[in-house]
Amino acid sequence: MTTNAQLLFNQIPKGEPTPETFKYNTENKIDLEQKLDNGAHIVKIICVSLDPYMRGRMRPAEVKSYSPAFELHKPLTGHGVGVVIRAAADSQYKVGDHVYGMVPYQQFVLIPGQQKVDEESKKFLGPQVGLRVIKNEEGLPWSAYIGAAGMPGKTAFMAWKEIADAKKGEVAFISAGSGPVGQMAIQLAKADGLKVISSAGSDEKVAFLKELGADVAFNCKLQSTSHKTDDAKKIFAEHGPIDVNWVNVGGKSFEEELEFMNMHGRLIGGWISAYNGESYGVRNLFQFVAKRLMMRGFIVGDFEASLAVLQQNINAKYVDDFYATIPKKLAFGDLKFKECKYDGLESAPKAFLEMLAGKQSGGFGKVFIQVAADDSH
Ligand SMILES: NC(=O)c1ccc[n+]([C@@H]2O[C@H](COP(=O)([O-])OP(=O)(O)OC[C@H]3O[C@@H](n4cnc5c(N)ncnc54)[C@H](OP(=O)(O)O)[C@@H]3O)[C@@H](O)[C@H]2O)c1
């Protein structure tokens, strides 16, 4: 038997998660030599993603949302990349295949051929039911496939195409621009000929936003009368109005942004400012009427593809386009991406807390956990 360390969901947090929200369990074992049949296979996990939406899954099971709650005392689940190290003769995968999809956060995963997925998970995972083989002809680090070439990159790519209705010369505002969604959104907006204003929470992050092509970048943590140069209102007044608002942060800053939206503006996004608690009550929603604004909810899972989804007529129109274009652009440097690596599942509690707070000790960018070496087979 081999140790199969896991990251367990240990406690439902009240407000901000704490180290006790998680438990690193080294007592779990797996028989890597076991007989496999009925299409089963064993995947060795290489890297897993830590994403803000996972905070929403740390809730009591009876509270419903678009994503299923984590099960207490079971491994967290999320996007990961692994390599198939054993496969039954009738498995759809072969040894050496690298696969991407939703996985439990542990070192090895035994996947039965007929993967059982409950109805709620199906709604959330949609197309992600089952793992996608990634050929990686581009030679990207595997972590890229859970970041810029994975779920967050797809979020930016698909929501931009589906909702932004971007026109050359317009102005986009992208908050939390140094995160994986923000990074991609900035570059897509620039590629479409928009002027980009972006914000992030430190001067280093702001410098990176400029490297990505943002025309105007400011430190959102310096918004006070004593830091007039980074006052968002002044920046929007000078460089706006905003036609496309990529609302990553939301909350009180959203209220400010609404004042500076252009007529017929479009809004896309997340609401990370409320993930640990109550949402700020935005007071100027009448701006939607006055300026004929359009904001549309978007969940990336609705747009990812698989045969199952296509059969259900769910919209999968962007996926082939994404995989055909984005990994190559990342590999050639036509699109930049920055990652923030933490080593080993035991580092995940610290990494998750730092990611949510925007205070990653290992740099910034897409936060992920390297579970095993990239070249492991
Ligand atoms: N709908 C979908 O399908 C979908 C999919 C993926 C992501 N999303 C959403 O898109 C957004 C960005 O995702 P991401 O993966 O790229 O995450 P991310 O930017 O890495 O998110 C973490 C960052 O958000 C900022 N932040 C956290 N709390 C904040 C607060 N209270 N006020 C202001 N900023 C705060 C921090 O950056 P700073 O230090 O720069 O402030 C932090 O580093 C999130 O809201 C996420 O939930 C939606």
pLDDT of residue 131: 84
Among 66, 230, 248, 275, say which to mutate for ligand 1: greatest number of ligand atoms within 8 Å of CB: 248
pLDDT band at 126 (very low <50, low <70, confident <90, very high): very low
Q: Is 165 left (phi over 0), alpha (psi -120 to 50) or beta?
A: left
pLDDT band at 128 (very low <50, low <70, confident <90, very high): very low
Confidence check: pLDDT of 241 > 70: yes
Confidence check: pLDDT of 147 > 60: yes
Query: What sign does the CA torsion over 41, 45, 50, 54 have?
Result: positive
CATH class of 151-300: alpha beta
Chosen CATH of 2-146+339-370 out of 1.10.510.10, 3.10.580.10, 2.40.10.10, 3.90.180.10: 3.90.180.10
pLDDT band at 122 (very low <50, low <70, confident <90, very high): low
Ligand 1, closest atom to CA 360? 43
* pLDDT above 90 coverage of the chain, percent: 75
pLDDT band at 229 (very low <50, low <70, confident <90, very high): low
Q: What is the pLDDT of residues 80-95, one digit of tens each?
A: 999 999 999 988 899 9
Evaluate: CB of 272 within 6 angstroms of ligand 1.
yes
Ligand 1, closest atom to CA 358? 43
CA-to-CA distance for 163 and 143, rounded, in angstroms? Answer: 27
To the nearest 10 degrees (0 to 180), the angle between helices 232-239 and 252-259 is: 30
Name every residue whose Cβ is closer than 8 Å to that of residue 7 and which is 6 or more positions away in sequence: 22, 23, 24, 25, 75, 76, 105, 106, 345, 348, 349
Evaluate: CB of 257 within 6 angstroms of ligand 1.
no
Nearest to 290 by CA among 249, 250, 241: 241
Q: What is the 3-state secondary structure (H, E, C) of 273-338?
A: HHCCCCCCCCCCCHHHHHCCCEECCCCHHHHCCCHHHHHCCCCCCCHHHHHHHHHHHHHHCCCCCC
* pLDDT above 70 coverage of the chain, percent: 89
Q: What is the pLDDT of residues 290-339, one digit of tens each?
A: 999 999 988 888 777 544 444 454 556 788 899 999 999 999 999 999 99
Q: 2-146+339-370 and 151-300 share one CATH topology?
A: no
Nearest to 43 by CA among 8, 91, 81, 78: 81
Ligand 1, closest atom to CA 199? 40
Q: Where are the domains of the chain?
A: 2-146+339-370, 151-300
341 CA distance to ligand 1 centroid (A)?
Answer: 17
Confidence check: pLDDT of 116 > 70: no
Number of Cα atoms under 13 Å in the Cβ half of residue 132: 25
177 CA distance to ligand 1 centroid (A)?
Answer: 9
Confidence check: pLDDT of 268 > 70: yes
